[in-house]
Amino acid sequence: MAYGRHSPCLPEDNMEDWDLTSVGMVLIGCSITAAGTIIAAMLLGTQLAIAPFLLLTTAILIVMSAALILFGKKHDVPA
């Protein structure tokens, strides 16, 4: 069986389904996973010279994605 764009086995993937809340959720999940991986590496004793910069970057991404989620939720509420 060939898997094509209109295959019954694969869900239809439309970019129209992606709103700010979805992007924020993906971004916050990836940022938390990256921060956890960096912290775990530091706890295991790995010397990472760039770790503080990476943790600061993930913290900024978490705050930005939380703002995207809140901004997206505000626009999803019907008037």
pLDDT, tens only, 5-28: 555 554 555 656 678 888 889 999
State the chain's mean pLDDT as an integer. Answer: 82
Hunting for tokens 């060939």 — which residue is that?
2
Give the up-direction half-sphere exposure of residue 15: CA atoms within 13 A in the CB hemisphere. 0
The pLDDT of residue 32 is 94
> Which of 63, 61, 77 is CA-nearest to residue 19?
77
Phi and psi at 9, nearest 5°, equal -85, -20
- Asked if residue 37 belongs to a domain, the reply is yes
The pLDDT of residue 42 is 93
Per the structure, the complete domain to which residue 70 belongs is given by 19-74
- Asked if residue 28 belongs to a domain, the reply is yes
Q: Answer whether 34's CB lies under 8 Å from 54's CB.
A: yes
The pLDDT of residue 11 is 55
The pLDDT of residue 23 is 86
Number of domains in the chain: 1
The rounded distance, in Å, linking the Cα atoms of 66 and 72 is: 10
- Asked if residue 68 belongs to a domain, the reply is yes
Residue 55 clears pLDDT 80, i.e. is over it: yes
